[in-house]
């Protein structure tokens, strides 16, 4: 990178907020996806104006810019594919306003998601989306990836809570989209264009989120099934009975065994599946919902239904699910965590299909995830140094995505497309779908400088 | 034991062991939410995930050892917070230590480090003498108050001018206490070896005296092998694998000669190194297993074995909180025992402070080499101590005591810093038990 550009970066951000040494570039060459590309500079903005100045300079000098939060994304969305400048938002982490009367909180994009609840719980409010990385990922990253979590079935995902955004557009203009009002129809529903945009259309610097009252009561239960079909049928039966659990987590036999090898959580090794179910709300209604669930679940081939009577029992029931990923991680040196998602009605076909694919390509897989919203996490257990196994695993992943598409599902429920799933997006949305995305990208970012090469290629670019 | 291993073989061994560790990293980024050093710098290069990547690049040959690489590798407290929270079970401190040792095989050991670790610590008497001279100077010639002009000399020895030092021992604990202290009050229950550690020997001699008084008072014979040397923690943390190994082997062989039923330590890092780290330096054997299984932290030993009756303790009017040393709570899994001992003392009003188990930033020699950062990290601890509304912080690690006391003084904060075992001994002495 030219010295004059670095000097300009230093004048915008200050010496301590500009990195250019090779070792630092290595540290910003990756996120939680297995791809590495070193940028030429890393900058840490502290104000929206600095981000705007950066984009104006980037447009003048034609330098690619890749925004980044904590780098915990699983799809490679924050990897600087075309090098250039990494824009690390994690020093913009102030709480701007908490407005309990309107049940809103406004924070800077680098604010850590799990830091919201301690602030808002004092007014008996909470922020529902809880992705696996909630303790360390930033709200900006959550919005850019439209992050999900365990409570999607009842509470939805990030997009359901985004009210207003301050965004720096690729050419440096600062816009505020959305509104703090419950209803607003002034202009397009434009804040949602940025939710899930994976940093391609603009850089969010401030986010206003809707909050909900904390449910008064929570009921928890663990159901152990003798067959996969009965677990899946139980999920359908529960929904059909008119109940909406806040959580309905699934673990398959391979995951159960990995958990038991890792730490004895009291799960039977020969069970084909377990469901962890929670209901919440007003106490009587949460209890009633759970009793309906118990009734529905027991219609199926169930071995055991345990209902927690107190917090300690609840923690014991959830112990296995909490360590599931750690347990799977300890089986082999590495893992590939996917998030292909289907309608919950075809969940058994999906689970059976994944198991068959893994068997066909001789790779180990553990399946756990959010059964209520059909968002499974098939986790392939691999050794990256074994090239032959990696090749087999890639084939299995290809087939997994096709299976999800064939079942009318989606290749990504909550991790995003980024680099990892870019080759598969066309299979799901078709040529016309890709062209629409390209056209939108060109409108916002005619020179293709903001997070270029993610999600899809622009026409004329090498695949 | 690999007595004649070449530098090249040693380098390969370090790279291999580091690789085994960092290749488990899923790059999820969770370490960013817990690392005390990262909290101060906010740069990925200084968090476990970044260090793992740097190590990976060094192993693959894609990166050479540079100043910035050394800086990244040296910015680690070995506090094990990332290890304790890692979903993939990576122990990043092992990558860091292996890389420090590897760098030494390539760059050699700095002259001063070699002098300290391989000459002075090994010979021991120059350190003891040096402490005595400084100790006399502290007592006779000048205090170490914040306005003393002598502070301007501190940087000559690598210390910050702001720093407050504890009084060094004019007479070391090992010279004051006999090699064998017989059991009192009845027949001998067991023969206990006491590894004093350098701090117990040369700075906090009252801790050593407390250990001996309590154990002998409750019927144990206490042996302090006079030839014991540094356990090797500062040596291994500063990149000197071979120097640390020589010290570990020496102590291992020395303590085996004394026919001991148990070995106690009153220093969290000594305890961790004699229980665990020693296994990295000495090949596994039944003797080593027996040795490591005999080592106990003093808090752990007292809580488990001593039958302390209420009438054997006298009232101490303190409001106390407890700070968990990293090498105690995460290094050895000791959390409840020291708290239980404190709560046993009548009159002690115990308050659990917030974030009791976060690192205080001292990290042994880190607070000498990285004083400003270590004080920034410690400032969070001071805030938590002040909010606990106590008049005393108890703990079980000399460098934690030194660092917390230093920074409390810089904050003009009134809380005293003591070892749990000292308080227990005070209470027992006042009751006439020991």
Spatial contact of B278 and B248, defined as CB atoms under 8 Å apart: yes
Contacts of residue A7, Cβ cutoff 8 Å, sequence gap at least 6: none
Which B positions 19-58 lie with beta carbon below 8 A of chain A?
23-24, 26-30, 32-33, 42-45, 50, 53-54, 57
The minimum CA-CA distance between B71 and chain A, rounded to whole Å, is 10
**Residue A193 vs residues A164, A202, A297, B280, B353: alpha-carbon distances, Å:** 12, 10, 40, 55, 46
Tokens 């003498």 locate to B129
Report the alpha-carbon distance of residue A89 to residue A202 in Å, rounded. 13
pLDDT tens for residues A178-194?
999 999 999 999 999 99
Pairwise CA distance, residues A398 & A363, whole Å: 13
- Under DSSP, the state recorded for B127 is H
Query: Is the domain defined by B7-107 classed in CATH 3.40.30.10?
Result: no
Token pair in block for residue B45: 């290069």
Nearest to A300 by CA among A246, A249, A228, A220: A228
Task: Report DSSP state, residue A450.
Answer: B
Inter-chain residue contact B43 with A385, CB threshold 8 Å:
no
CA distance B265 to B272: 10
CB-nearest partner of A24 from B30, B32, B43: B43
Domains in chain A with CATH codes: 3-90 (3.30.43.10), 93-213 (3.30.465.10), 217-406 (3.40.462.10)
Cα radius of gyration (chain B): 21
pLDDT under 50: residue ranges of chain B: 1-2
User: Are A27 and B87 an interchain contact pair (Cβ–Cβ within 8 Å)?
Assistant: no
- Partners of A28 on chain B (C-beta within 8 Å) are 44
Closest Cα in chain B, distance from residue A206 (Å): 20
pLDDT tens for each residue of A358-410: 999 999 999 999 998 899 999 999 998 899 999 999 999 999 999 999 999 99
Taking the Cβ of residue A385 and every Cβ of chain B, the question of whether any pair is shorter than 8 Å is answered with yes
Q: What are phi and psi of B234, to 5 degrees?
A: -65, -25
| Chain B residues touching A71 at Cβ < 8 A | 29, 32, 44
Q: Which residue of B has its CA nearest to A89?
A: B42
Give me the CATH topology for the region B310-430: Rossmann fold (3.40.50)
Handedness of CA B25, B31, B36, B40 (dihedral sign): positive
Copy the structure tokens of residue A32: 């939680």
Q: Please, are residues B394 and B351 in contact by the beta-carbon 8 Å criterion? A: no
Residue A133 forms contact with B (CB below 8 Å):
yes
Point out the residue among B24, B53, B87 whose CB comes nearest to the CB of A333.
Answer: B24
* CB within 8 Å: B72 and A71: no
| Bridge partners, residue B429, by sequence | none
Nearest to B267, CA basis, from B208, B214, B179:
B208
Q: Do B72 and A23 touch (CB under 8 A)?
A: yes
CB A328 within 8 A of CB A255: yes
- Contact yes or no for A163/A386 (Cβ under 8 A): no
Q: Does residue A463 carry a pLDDT above 60?
A: no
Q: Say yes or no: A31 contacts chain B, CB-CB below 8 A.
A: yes
- Establish if A224 touches chain B: CB-CB under 8 angstroms: no
> Residue A222 in 3-state DSSP?
strand
Query: Which residues does B281 contact at the CB level (< 8 Å), separation at least 6?
Result: B232, B236, B241, B244, B245, B248, B249
Please tell me if residue B63 touches chain A, with a CB cutoff of 8 Å: yes
Is residue B219 within 8 A of residue B186, CB to CB? The reply is: yes
Label residue A62 exposed, middle or buried (CB < 10 Å: 0-12, 13-18, 19+).
Answer: exposed
Cα separation, A127 vs A134, in Å, equals 11
CA Rg value for chain A = 23
Closest CA to B275 of B257, B258, B255: B255
Residues in CB range of B140: below 8 A, 6 or more apart: none
Q: Which residue of B has its CA nearest to A110?
A: B42
Sheet holding B416-419, edge to edge: B349-350, B319-322, B392-395, B416-419
pLDDT 10s digits, A318-331: 888 888 988 998 89
The domain ranges of chain B are 7-107, 310-430
List pLDDT tens digits, range A21-35.
999 999 999 999 989
Q: Which residues of A touch B66 (CB under 8 A)?
A: 22-23
Report the sign of the C-alpha dihedral through residues A103, A107, A112, A118, in that order.
negative
- Put simply, whether B167 touches A (Cβ < 8 Å) is no
Cα separation, B320 vs B390, whole angstroms = 6
pLDDT at residue B249 in the model? 98
Q: Is A304 left (phi over 0), alpha (psi -120 to 50) or beta?
A: beta
CA distance A109 to A121: 20
Please give the Cα distance from B76 to B92 (Å, whole number): 10
Positions of E strands within A235-284: 247-252, 273-281
In total, the C-beta contacts within 8 angstroms joining chain A to chain B are 85
CA-to-CA separations, B29 to A65, A137, A357, in angstroms, rounded = 21, 8, 30
Q: Do A44 and B53 lie within an 8 Å CB cutoff?
A: no
Task: Residue A338: name the closest of A363, A305, A362 by CA.
Answer: A363
Residues A419-452: tens digit of each pLDDT = 999 999 999 999 999 999 999 999 999 999 999 9
Task: With cut-offs at 50, 70 and 90, classify the pLDDT of residue A353.
Answer: very high
Q: How confident is the model at residue B1, as a pLDDT?
A: 44
Kindly report the nearest CA distance between residue A390 and chain B, in angstroms. Answer: 15
The predicted structure's pLDDT at residue B163: 87
Q: 3-state DSSP call for residue A414? A: coil
CA-nearest of B203, B273, B194 to B235 is B273
Is the CB of residue A72 less than 8 Å away from at least one CB of chain B? yes
């Amino acid at each position: 990178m030219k010295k004059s550009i670095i000097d300009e970066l230093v004048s915008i951000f200050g010496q301590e907020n500009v990195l250019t040494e090779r070792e630092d570039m290595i540290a910003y060459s990756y996120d939680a996806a297995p791809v590495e590309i070193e940028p030429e500079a890393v900058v840490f903005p502290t104000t929206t104006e600095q981000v705007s100045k950066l984009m104006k300079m980037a447009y003048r000098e034609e330098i690619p810019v890749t925004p980044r939060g904590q780098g915990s994304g699983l799809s490679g969305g924050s990897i600087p594919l075309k090098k250039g400048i990494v824009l690390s938002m994690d020093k913009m982490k102030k709480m701007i306003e908490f407005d309990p009367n309107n049940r809103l909180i406004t924070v800077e994009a680098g604010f850590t998601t799990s830091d919201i609840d301690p602030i808002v719980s004092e007014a008996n409010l909470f922020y529902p989306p809880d992705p696996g990385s909630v303790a360390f990922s930033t709200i900006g990253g959550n919005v850019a990836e439209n992050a999900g979590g365990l409570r999607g079935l009842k509470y939805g995902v990030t997009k359901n809570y985004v009210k207003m955004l301050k965004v720096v557009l690729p050419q440096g203009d600062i816009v505020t989209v959305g509104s703090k009002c419950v209803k607003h129809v002034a202009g397009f529903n434009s804040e949602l264009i940025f939710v899930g945009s994976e940093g391609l259309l603009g850089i969010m610097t401030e986010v206003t989120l809707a909050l909900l009252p904390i449910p008064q009561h929570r009921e928890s239960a663990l159901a152990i099934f003798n067959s996969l079909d009965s677990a899946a049928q139980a999920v359908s039966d529960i929904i059909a009975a008119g109940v909406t659990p806040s959580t309905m987590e699934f673990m398959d036999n391979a995951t159960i065994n990995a958990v038991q090898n890792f730490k004895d959580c009291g799960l039977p090794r020969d069970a084909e599946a377990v469901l962890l179910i929670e209901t919440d709300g007003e106490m009587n209604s949460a209890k009633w919902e759970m009793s309906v669930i118990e009734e529905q679940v027991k219609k199926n081939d169930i071995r055991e239904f345990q209902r927690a009577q107190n917090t300690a029992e609840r923690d014991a029931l959830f112990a296995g699910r909490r360590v599931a990923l750690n347990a799977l991680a300890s089986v082999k040196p590495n893992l590939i965590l996917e998030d292909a998602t289907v309608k919950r009605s075809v969940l058994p076909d999906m689970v059976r299909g994944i198991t068959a694919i893994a068997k066909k390509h001789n790779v180990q897989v553990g399946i756990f995830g959010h059964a209520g919203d059909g968002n499974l996490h098939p986790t392939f257990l691999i050794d990256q140094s074994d090239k032959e196994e990696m090749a087999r695993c890639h084939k299995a992943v290809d087939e997994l995505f096709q299976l999800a598409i064939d079942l009318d599902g989606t290749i990504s429920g909550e991790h995003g497309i980024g680099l990892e799933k870019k080759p598969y997006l066309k299979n799901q949305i078709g040529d016309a779908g890709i062209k629409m995305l390209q056209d939108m990208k060109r409108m916002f970012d005619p020179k293709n400088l903001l997070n270029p090469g993610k999600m899809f290629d622009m026409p004329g670019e090498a695949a | 034991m690999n007595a004649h291993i070449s530098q090249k073989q040693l380098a390969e061994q370090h790279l291999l062991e580091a690789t085994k560790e960092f290749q488990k990293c899923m790059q999820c980024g969770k370490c960013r939410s817990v690392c005390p050093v990262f909290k101060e710098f906010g740069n990925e290069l200084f968090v476990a995930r970044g260090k793992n990547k740097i190590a990976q690049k060094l192993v693959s040959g894609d990166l050479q050892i540079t100043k910035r690489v050394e800086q990244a590798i040296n910015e680690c407290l070995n506090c094990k917070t990332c290890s304790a929270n890692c979903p993939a079970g990576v122990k990043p401190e092992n990558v860091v230590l292996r890389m420090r040792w590897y760098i030494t095989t390539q760059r050699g050991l700095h002259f001063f480090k070699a002098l300290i670790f391989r000459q002075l610590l090994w010979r021991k008497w120059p350190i003891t003498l040096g402490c005595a001279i400084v100790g006399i100077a502290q007592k006779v010639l000048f205090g170490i108050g914040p306005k003393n002009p002598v502070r301007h000399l501190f940087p000559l020895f690598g210390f910050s001018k702001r720093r407050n030092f504890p009084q060094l021992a004019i007479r070391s604990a090992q010279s004051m206490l006999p090699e064998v202290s017989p059991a009192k009050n009845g027949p001998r229950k067991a023969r206990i070896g006491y590894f004093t550690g350098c701090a117990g020997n040369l700075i906090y001699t009252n801790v050593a005296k407390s250990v001996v008084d309590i154990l002998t008072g409750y019927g144990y014979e206490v042996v302090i092998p006079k030839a014991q040397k540094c356990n090797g923690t500062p040596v291994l943390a500063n990149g000197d694998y071979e120097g640390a190994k020589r010290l570990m082997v020496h102590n291992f062989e020395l303590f085996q000669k004394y026919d001991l039923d148990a070995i106690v330590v009153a220093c969290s890092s000594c305890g961790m190194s004699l229980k665990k780290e020693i296994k990295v330096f000495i090949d596994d054997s039944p003797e080593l297993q027996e040795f490591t299984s005999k080592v106990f932290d003093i808090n752990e030993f007292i809580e488990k074995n001593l039958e302390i009756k209420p009438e054997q303790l006298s009232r101490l009017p303190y409001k106390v909180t407890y700070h968990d040393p990293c090498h105690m709570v995460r290094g050895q899994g000791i959390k409840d025992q020291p708290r239980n001992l404190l709560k046993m003392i009548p009159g002690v009003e115990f308050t659990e402070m917030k974030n009791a188990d976060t690192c205080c930033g001292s990290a042994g020699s880190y607070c000498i080499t990285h004083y400003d950062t270590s004080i920034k990290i410690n400032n969070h601890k001071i805030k938590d101590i002040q909010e606990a509304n106590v008049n005393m912080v108890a703990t079980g690690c000399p460098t934690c005591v030194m660092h917390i006391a230093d920074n409390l003084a810089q904050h003009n904060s009134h809380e005293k810093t003591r070892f749990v075992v000292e308080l227990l001994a005070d209470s027992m002495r006042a009751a006439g038990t020991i």
